[in-house]
């Protein structure tokens, strides 16, 4: 599949290696022609690369819950139909436009030691994890971090970064919805786990750390899980809202923020591309560097072919996925 790097309607992240010139007349794409309907695999006509564009031969695409929301018309960004969904991919550069002097202005170069498959799993999950822990929560040595949906792509990335990058004796509590996912989180470096399908998250956390609570919470679930995580925070604790995979958006009880001097903050990783590009770029560069150094290891839970893209979406919707789900085009 040949992909043209156009000005995206979503905050995509491109990770590429350089290859020789050339492109075909058509490329295959998963097309969203109607909201809330299965994607269609179609042959899309290629066109000449415009001066500011780069053409990439895509090897792997990441599947994110946000992609599903976009195709349902439930995301912050609503592209005009028909469109090709997707937020991240890895591949090789085939062709650059006449006004592109440095490919890295729009792309992040994959180190030779980093496989294309693992590289496709880095941008959204690890970009979010790095921003959440370092930039938003400003996690400090000796603090305790609670992460919800801990067996998902972002959750495992938070565990990976907290335990293998921060290297500041951070104690990670992984909260998931099943015992199997708790086991995976422990294997990936979490110090303790909580299965919140079996009872109160707040009470389980209290048994682990006492009444003082946790210093940082990274939440991707929303709803009651968010509220329980909020109530688990210590004095001057910080909770970072990353998403609402549970489907419900909770209201923040302001009195809880007041009583413990708690900070509740949001993290929309892709928005940094437009509002603060240096920070956005630094997270991707850091993720690539950590991967090259062997300090992080993305967990690939499942790989589907392009023709199986709707199965991949269903895999995520039904919460069968652990780690990153990828689409392979090779």
The per-residue pLDDT for 135 is 95
Match 């028909």 to its residue by tokens: 82
- Predicted local confidence at residue 15, as pLDDT: 55
What residues form DSSP beta bridges with 96? 54
Structure-block tokens of residue 23? 């492109």
Backbone angles phi, psi at 137, to 5 degrees: -80, -20
Q: Output DSSP code: residue 250.
A: P
**Dist CA 2 CA 14 (whole Å):** 13
Rounded-to-integer distance, Cα 136 and Cα 310, Å: 34
d(CA 54, CA 330): 20
Please give the pLDDT value at position 4. 25
Structural domain boundaries of the chain? 2-121+299-328, 125-270
**Burial code of 194-229, b = ≥16 C-beta within 10 A, e = fewer?**
bbbeeeebbebbbebbeeebbbbbbbbbbeebbbbb
| Predicted TM-score (pTM) of this structure | 0.90
List Cα–Cα distances, 258 to 69, 228, 230, in angstroms: 33, 17, 12
Token output for 241? 């809202």
Give the pLDDT confidence score for residue 115 in this predicted structure. Answer: 87
**125-270 CATH fold:** Rossmann fold (3.40.50)
Count CB atoms within 10 A of the CB of residue 322.
23
Cα 216 from Cα 132, distance rounded (Å): 10
From first to last of its 330 residues, the chain has per-residue pLDDT tens of 222 222 332 334 445 554 444 445 788 999 999 999 999 999 988 889 899 888 889 999 999 999 999 999 988 889 999 999 999 999 988 888 888 887 667 788 888 778 899 999 999 999 999 999 999 999 998 999 999 999 999 999 999 999 999 867 899 999 999 999 999 999 999 999 999 999 999 999 999 999 899 999 999 999 999 999 999 999 999 999 998 888 788 889 999 999 999 999 999 988 998 899 999 999 999 999 999 899 999 999 999 999 999 999 999 999 899 999 999 998
Q: Which two tokens stand for residue 150?
A: 């801990």
> Which superfamily does 2-121+299-328 belong to?
Medium-chain alcohol dehydrogenases, catalytic domain (3.90.180.10)
> Any idea which residue has 């006004």 for tokens?
99
DSSP 247-310: S--PPP-HHHHHHHT-EEEE--GGGHHHH-HHHHHHHHHHHHHHHHTTS----EEEEEEGGGHH
- The count of residues in the chain is 330
Whether 46 and 27 have beta carbons less than 8 Å apart is answered as yes
């Amino acid at each position: 599949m040949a992909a043209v790097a156009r000005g995206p309607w979503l905050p995509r992240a491109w990770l590429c290696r350089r290859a020789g010139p050339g492109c075909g007349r058509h490329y295959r794409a998963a097309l969203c022609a109607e909201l809330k309907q299965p994607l269609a695999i179609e042959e899309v006509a290629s066109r000449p690369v415009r001066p500011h564009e780069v053409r990439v031969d895509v090897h792997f695409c990441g599947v994110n819950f946000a992609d599903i929301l976009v195709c349902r018309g439930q995301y912050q960004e609503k592209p005009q139909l028909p469109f090709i969904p997707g937020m991240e991919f890895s591949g090789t550069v085939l062709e650059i436009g006449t006004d592109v002097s440095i490919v890295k202005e729009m792309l992040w170069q994959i180190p030779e030691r980093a496989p294309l498959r693992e590289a496709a799993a880095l941008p959204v999950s690890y970009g979010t994890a790095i921003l959440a822990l370092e930039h938003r929560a400003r996690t400090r040595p000796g603090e305790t971090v609670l992460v919800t949906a801990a067996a998902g792509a972002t959750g495992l990335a938070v565990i990976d970064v907290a335990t293998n990058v921060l290297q500041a004796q951070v104690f990670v509590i992984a909260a998931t919805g099943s015992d199997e996912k708790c086991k995976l989180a422990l294997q990936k470096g979490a110090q303790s786990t909580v299965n919140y399908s079996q009872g109160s998250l707040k009470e389980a956390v209290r048994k682990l750390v006492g009444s003082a609570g946790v210093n940082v919470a990274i939440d991707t679930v929303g709803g009651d899980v968010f509220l329980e995580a909020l109530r688990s925070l210590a004095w001057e604790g910080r909770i970072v809202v990353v998403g609402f995979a549970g489907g419900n958006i909770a209201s923040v009880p302001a009195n809880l923020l007041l009583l413990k001097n708690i900070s509740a903050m949001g993290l929309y990783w892709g928005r940094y591309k437009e509002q603060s590009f240096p920070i956005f770029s630094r997270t991707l560069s850091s993720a690539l560097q950590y991967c090259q150094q062997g300090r992080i290891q993305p967990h690939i839970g499942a790989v589907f072919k392009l023709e199986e893209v709707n199965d991949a979406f269903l895999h995520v919707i039904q919460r069968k996925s652990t780690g990153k789900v990828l689409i392979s085009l090779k």
